[in-house]
Structure 1
Amino acid sequence: MPERLAGLPRPRTLIHPGPCSAVRLDHRQAPAARHMRLALAPGLTLFDALVGALSSASVESASLTLLEGDLEDLDFCVAPPDRSGHVVATYGPPATLQSARLLFGNATLGCAETGHPAVHCHAVFSSAQGHLLGGHVLTQRCRIVNAPVSALATSLDGFGLRIAYDPETRMSLMRPAAAQVCHG
């Protein structure tokens, strides 16, 4: 196995510009969790389909695995290094695929700083020309088409996930918090 890796570049070490928190892993234990298989309906945005399906099951925070499906107007970003040095990396401008095939993705449902639902999603997909791509998916912009997208969800019952400013990364991140009601 080491021979296969010999030609690859060494992974870079990322050092965030802000002060390190004394707590390196902020975690909570869910006293209960529900596992669900969802069929996300065509015609809806990925965001509306996820939030609607989970809201109907009284879920406000969840970890999700997205399985195959067709999307249109898929907007996604990648995160190149931030040349200003203010943060380690920042999202570049969105790229749009008019038609894409979702191959696999992971998403997290929580609450935005406004108290409304938020979905953070990274996925791998292919363009209509068969090019393999991946990145941060802007779920409120892309639409499910042709057939339902399957998703496996695990509810995080007993605590919530909330986006809040993180001084170490100088970015807003989704973090565990006391259970709160999102306003959808």
Structure 2
Amino acid sequence: MTRMSLKGLHRPRLMRHAGSFNPVRIQSMHHQSGRHIRLQLEPGRTLHDALVEPLLTLGVTSASTTILSGYFSHLEYCVAPPDPSGNAVIAYSRPIDAGAGFMVFGNATLGKDMQNQPLVHCHATLCTEVGTAKGGHILPKASIVGPAPISVLVTAIDGFELRQAFDEETNIPLLKPYKES
């Protein structure tokens, strides 16, 4: 590539974590099997409740999901720009109201928060009420499914669970694999 063809392109940001270095950056576990479930998110419910409640009835407390496209009567999201304090690489922005929006595609992870309650962490590409394409972290407890059901492909995590825990390298809470000894 010539210098001219690179004009207008942004360089990736260099990310240095503020905490102590962990040589095992990606923590993983696996299990011999996992259930696959197709779920319909019920209109009028928050994304959190529409995912968590039907999965809990099936005994699923940790999962990886793919949210296929669909309309939300209300969507809120945030982005994760660099943390101005320097305490972590990122700091979530204040909630951004997308209005009645369309989720183009999303991935949500189900686990447990630090109080052992269901936690949904969702990244998505969306189209706001005014037609602007955006992306970020969907706020599951503030985003309302509707007017029609939305299909979700679920891979249940069996044999271990995902739990939120403070990560000393990133200085933020992260979902991590956990198995009782």
Separation of aligned partners in 2, 1:47 and 1:75:
12
Give the superposition deviation at 1:134.
1.1
* 1:40–1:53 CA contact under 8 A, matched in 2: no
Deviates more, 1:5-14 or 1:145-154: 5-14
Structure 1 residues 179 and 5, CA gap change in structure 2 (3 angstroms):
farther
Separation of aligned partners in 1, 2:136 and 2:91:
12
Deviates more, 1:125-134 or 1:108-117: 125-134
Alignment map for 1:54-73 (pairs within 5 Å): 54-73=55-74
TM-score, with length taken from structure 2? 0.93
* 2:63–2:156 CA contact under 8 A, matched in 1: yes
Separation of aligned partners in 1, 2:54 and 2:85:
40
TM-score, with length taken from structure 1? 0.91
Q: Report what 2:135 is aligned to.
A: 134
State the superposition RMSD in angstroms. Answer: 1.8
Deviates more, 1:27-36 or 1:99-108: 27-36
Alignment map for 1:27-176 (pairs within 5 Å): 27-176=28-177
* 1:109–1:118 CA contact under 8 A, matched in 2: yes
* 2:34–2:158 CA contact under 8 A, matched in 1: yes
Deviates more, 1:40-49 or 1:19-28: 19-28
Q: Report what 1:6 is aligned to.
A: 6
* 1:158–1:179 CA contact under 8 A, matched in 2: no
Give the superposition deviation at 1:179.
5.6
Separation of aligned partners in 1, 2:158 and 2:58:
11
Number of equivalences? 179
**Amino acid in structure 2 at the alignment position of 1:102:** M
Give the superposition deviation at 1:151.
0.5
Give the superposition deviation at 1:11.
1.2
Q: Report what 1:21 is aligned to.
A: 22
**Amino acid in structure 2 at the alignment position of 1:9:** H
Separation of aligned partners in 1, 2:44 and 2:13:
41
Give the superposition deviation at 1:41.
0.8
Give the superposition deviation at 1:31.
2.2
Separation of aligned partners in 2, 1:113 and 1:158:
20
Give the superposition deviation at 1:53.
1.9
Quote the sequence identity (%): 42
* 1:68–1:104 CA contact under 8 A, matched in 2: yes
* 2:73–2:147 CA contact under 8 A, matched in 1: no
* 1:113–1:164 CA contact under 8 A, matched in 2: yes
Give the superposition deviation at 1:22.
3.1
Separation of aligned partners in 2, 1:87 and 1:43:
36
Give the superposition deviation at 1:80.
1.2
